[in-house]
Copies of this chain bind each other. A is one copy, B any other.
Amino acid sequence: MITSEIIAVGSELLTPEKTDTNSLWLTEKLNEIGIEVMLKTIVGDDEPRLLETIKDALKRSDVVITTGGLGPTEDDLTRQVSAKAVGRELVFHKDLEDDMRERFRRMGREMPEINRRQAYIIEGADALPNANGSAPGLIFEENGKFLIVLPGPPRELKPMFTDLVLPRLKNLAGDFVVKRRIIGVSGMGESAIDELVAPIYTEYKDVRTSVLFNKTQVEIHLYLKAENGDDAEAVLEEMTARMAEALGIAVFTTNGETMEEVVGQMLLERGQTVSTAESCTGGLVGRRFTEVAGSSAYYMEGAITYSNEAKMRTLGVSADTLDAHGAVSSQTAEEMAAGIRERAGTNYGISTTGIAGPDGGSDEKPVGTVYIGYADANGTRSIRLNLPGDRYLVRWRASQAALDYLRRQMLKEGGRDKV
């Protein structure tokens, strides 16, 4: 196994506001070529700690990647400290300086003299020119180990890694392929899901399986490194099919799509349209439908009816219903869904009304009480949910439930009666 470590450098990454995220992208790219990330370190602009970190990493791992700390100021230490870590000098590269001067000239500016520091590279290393910024990176190889020094800004790091580093590392781990799957599950808890799928994934020792809870849904991530791509694909296909069978209609995707993409695709395939009427979600359901490019083909209109007046005027909810049952009720939800469907002339109407909190709850209808309404040509339906979490989460979960309710009703209507 080829092992790697990622070291993110910069004191701003040790504040409560900011942390390293480059390493997620780098991990994906490294995994794809069969290199495992064994450790990540975040260290400040702090010479002794950075030196110790790079030295320790080179002892433990085959590939060590640093990100950040290549700017032109005194704070930026990665260049000199990485040279010290491998016991080499920094040498000046005239061609890198020329490139930088040219780059500044194109922007109509003189290169500040301080930027000359960025043209120093570890002796014996290959410079990695930066197409999107002034700081070059470098790649240093010794005794089969790699030290790769990259700039911090993602728009500089990513193309540099893809174009100049990946080709050098690609064959390090030998011949193999990596296959992934993401199964999305909605309307079931994490532990209930794990209980159903654990007997399956424990049979597949080579597949790395993670069950992750992601705000509104549970995702099952499968990752398999193998020598033969077709075999690997067949293994994941079989595993996915078994899990989908075990979980039933709660599975909304087996290839990582979002709920709004799945529902949008279903509408598109059927040539059908939808409209939304939102109270407690305040536009979030519409926003999710329209997050998908091309959604104008099936998403026609939405009403955000926060006040009772708006519910009556725009959706035709009756005053009697609001008086007798309240705005947060199955009756109101159904009238809202029917109202927007009729107004917009769509196949489906979907609505939300509930108590997102933190105030407004009662014994009978505590915070988190949400009704989802549904209307189609045959009439209306609704469900009541008790959603946990704060205002933000209750609203997200309500939006997910609304999309999922439409999906389940469409499948039911389409002949599968598993809801």
Contacts and interface: CB of A to CB of B under 8 A. Distances in A.
Interface residues of A, number: 76
A344 interface: yes
Contacts of A278: 283, 286
A305 B14 CA distance: 44
A78 to B, nearest CB: 15
A17 B220 CA distance: 11
B293 A287 contact: no
Interface stretch (A31-39, A125-133, A164-172, A240-248): A31-39
A366 interface: no
A300 interface: yes
A201 B309 CA distance: 50
Q: How many copies does the complex hold?
A: 2
A301 B307 contact: yes
Interface stretch (A42-50, A136-144, A377-385, A407-415): A42-50
B15 A19 contact: no
B31 A24 contact: no
A17 B221 contact: yes
A27 interface: yes
Nearest to A12: B210
Interface string A324-349: 00000000000000000001110000
Interface string A1-31: 0000000000010111111110111011001
A371 interface: no
A210 B212 CA distance: 33
Contacts of A289: 282-283
A179 interface: no
Interface of A is mostly: mixed
Which among A31, A42, A208 has the highest number of chain B CB atoms within 10 Å? A42
B306 A299 contact: yes
Contacts of A359: 293-294
Contact of A291 (B282, B304, B306): B282
A303 B300 contact: no
A301 B305 contact: yes
Contacts of A43: 38-40
Contacts of A31: 15-16
A304 B306 contact: no
A313 B343 CA distance: 9
A368 interface: no
18 contacts: A14-B36, A17-B219, A38-B49, A39-B41, A40-B43, A52-B56, A56-B56, A282-B299, A287-B287, A290-B304, A293-B356, A293-B357, A293-B391, A296-B307, A300-B309, A301-B303, A302-B306, A303-B304
